Amino acid sequence: KAGVTQTPRYLIKTRGQQVTLSCSPISGHRSVSWYQQTPGQGLQFLFEYFSETQRNKGNFPGRFSGRQFSNSRSEMNVSTLELGDSALYLCASSLGGVVEQYFGPGTRLTVT
Amino acid sequence: AQSVTQLDSQVPVFEEAPVELRCNYSSSVSVYLFWYVQYPNQGLQLLLKYLSGSTLVKGINGFEAEFNKSQTSFHLRKPSVHISDTAEYFCAVSVGSGGGADGLTFGKGTHLIIQP
């Protein structure tokens, strides 16, 4: 069974631009969660989608948004990029909860 | 709100020696507890989880952890480490039913360094 895939793996953007990251969950998984990992703040929960509905959102500004498609694939978008948005963005999929989440390899975003 | 404290940011251990990585959590409600491992340039891999029942939980790669409700701790142990165990280890907590909507709250991580 294929694991969680994230594209692209690496991305360099300029401050003020916007970016879209993609996550394809494990087949059959309907829940996708996104996390931001930085050296200073560690791993922080961004949001979770289940069956195309956002069920919860972490403490991030409105510049961070996401969506989920009917095939459970998810995208997250960051608008008006700031230097502090440089991070590893991880997505995790599960059947519907956190008890068995599988993480992808992440997308490393660098904002210059 | 819940929080997780990993007491050591870095733990050096000699190969084949035992190791304990410490994790304390704070929550006013019942929790689910997890340990994840992250190898360089990779995502997170679940080592083990405590949901309910026996307080001693066994995971992959010879790791185990013990849930102690009175001390609000969930320390990770391995009796004999290998060079390949060098990685970052994260303790995480989820409150409620584990339905996933709340996400996981992670500790800052412990870098396990195995010395030959």
Residue A70: the pLDDT is 96
Query: For residue A80, how many C-alpha atoms fall within 13 Å in the half-sphere facing its CB?
Result: 3
Q: Determine what percent of chain B is predicted with pLDDT higher than 70.
A: 93
Q: How confident is the model at residue B113 (pLDDT cuts 50, 70, 90)?
A: very high
Residue B41 pLDDT grade (very low, low, confident, very high; cuts 50, 70, 90): confident
pLDDT score recorded for residue A98: 75
Question: Looking at the complex, does the CB of residue A61 fall below 8 Å from at least one CB of chain B?
Answer: no
Query: Inter-chain contact A48–B43, Cβ cutoff 8 Å?
Result: no
Name which of B113, B91, B78, B79 is nearest B22 in CA terms: B91
Q: Give every strand in the sheet of A19-24, ordered side by side.
A: A5-7, A19-24, A74-78, A64-68
pLDDT at B13: 97
Instruction: Report the pLDDT averaged over residues A24-47.
Output: 94
- What is the structure's pLDDT at A87? 97
Q: Quick check: B103 pLDDT over 90?
A: no
Pick from B34, B43, B109: CB nearest A106: B43
Can you tell me the distance from the alpha carbon of B65 to that of B58, in angstroms, rounded to the nearest whole number? 7
* Chain B hits for A50, Cβ within 8 Å: 100-101
**What is the reported pLDDT for B100?**
52
Mutate which of B4, B10, B37, B44 to test chain A, going by most A C-beta atoms within 10 A? B44
- Whether A98 sits inside 8 A of B103 (CB atoms) is yes
Question: Exposed, middle or buried: residue B2 (CB in 10 Å: 0-12, 13-18, 19+)?
Answer: middle
Contact B106 A94 (CB under 8 A): no
CB B104 within 8 A of CB B54: no
Q: Are A41 and B106 in contact (CB under 8 A)?
A: no
Position B101 scores a pLDDT of 55
**Interface check A50 vs B, CB under 8 A:** yes
Query: Is residue A76 pLDDT above 70, yes or no?
Result: yes
pLDDT in tens, B44-91: 999 999 988 889 999 999 999 999 999 999 999 999 999 999 999 999
What is the predicted pLDDT for the residue at A96? Answer: 79
Q: What local confidence, expressed as pLDDT, does residue A100 receive?
A: 82
Find where tokens 């500004």 sit: A61
In the predicted model, what is the mean pLDDT of residues A28-37? 95
Lowest mean pLDDT among A9-13, A86-90, B27-31: B27-31
User: What three-state secondary structure class fits A85?
Assistant: helix
Q: Which range is least confidently modeled, A91-100, A103-112, B71-80? A: A91-100
